[in-house]
Amino acid sequence: MRQGRVNRPSSCIGRKLGVTLGVVDIIVTGAGGKLGRLLRAAWLENPPSGLRPIWSGRSEEFDLAWDILADPTPDLPKGAVVLHLAGLVRGPGTVLQRNAAMVPPLLRTCRKAAVRRLFLASTASVYAPDPNGAREEDAPAPPGAYGAAKLAAEAMLDAGDMAATILRFGNIAGADALLGPRPPGEEIVLDPVPGHSGGPLRSWIGGRTLAGLLPALVRADLPRILNVACDPPLAMGDLLAASGLRWRYGPPNPDVVPAAVLSTRRLAALVDLPKASPESIAAEAAWARGVLQ
């Protein structure tokens, strides 16, 4: 069993991690996943003010080589922030249970390093579909296995005196099933929604937008749960049209969810939240496909 360790990034050669005045180390787990790759690309383009990313994954290519479920507790920089993105999004229930199983060793590591805040990535899928915007104070009612698995991970987050915030993300543009990478020329078939010309309505945020918001969230006085998306929600058909992708409506589907959107009231009170438009989200998705392909 290997020992997780921090490999100093080239930008940190000659100085000890975690001691630069005014700079906060942020350890990002799941750096090899879709959202981790998008944040890494975004922060390479525009380095985050006041943050020094340390990328963590199971491979030796990352700054911190750490398999959370197998490796001993690594030594993190004292007083760092941890953004926990590592997890599984599909598979049978026994596989998805690993999302919750990661939380106890993650907490042990964070306590050992006296982290200043732990961000636990979750999902809008923990809510029942709500056309009016699911609020953080609403009782969770996940309709699917993935949402149930992430809710189980949330329930494991007994942080004690440690500051911890659950981030319930909306759809990440370009890392999702609708706007993500696909074979060239493939036609997308969209479920129609009777009475709604744009099809299903969802809440969205782009990877670059999220990367720009995180430095402010690190320093904010945060609640325990925070929905993360831009406003207003957007229809899938409008996004596909703005993206220039080939698509059409399929036959009626009685199981289609017309609207599953998030309230962003809490988030908008904390940061300068940009408005979403089909064009802005389509641009984010096109950039993300370039990163992920």
Q: pLDDT by residue (tens digit) across 70-79?
A: 999 999 999 9
The answer on pLDDT for 194 being more than 70 is yes
Output 1 or 122, whichever has higher pLDDT: 122
**What distance in Å separates the CA atoms of residue 238 and residue 242, rounded to the nearest whole number?**
6
pLDDT of residue 4: 52
Q: Express each pLDDT in 131-145 by its tens digit.
A: 999 999 999 999 999
Percent of the chain with pLDDT over 90: 86
Mean pLDDT of 268-275: 96
Question: Both tokens of residue 42?
Answer: 């975004």
Q: How confident is the model at residue 95 (pLDDT cuts 50, 70, 90)?
A: confident
Average pLDDT, integer, range 218-234: 97
Cα 20 to Cα 51: distance, rounded to the nearest angstrom: 10
Position 269, amino acid: A
pLDDT, averaged across the chain: 92
**Of residues 10 and 54, more confidently modeled:** 54
Confidence at residue 14, expressed as pLDDT on a 0 to 100 scale: 26
Inter-residue contact 148 to 142 (CB < 8 Å):
yes
Report pLDDT for 5.
52
Query: φ and ψ at 257, to 5 degrees?
Result: -100, 105
Euclidean distance between CA atoms 139 and 35, whole angstroms: 26
Q: Specify which residues 235 forms β-bridges with.
A: 201
Going from the N-terminus, what domains does the chain have, and what CATH number goes with each? 5-175+204-230+262-279 (3.40.50.720)
Band of pLDDT at residue 256, cut at 50, 70 and 90: very high
| Mean pLDDT, range 44-52, rounded to an integer | 96
pTM: predicted TM-score of the whole model, two decimal places: 0.91
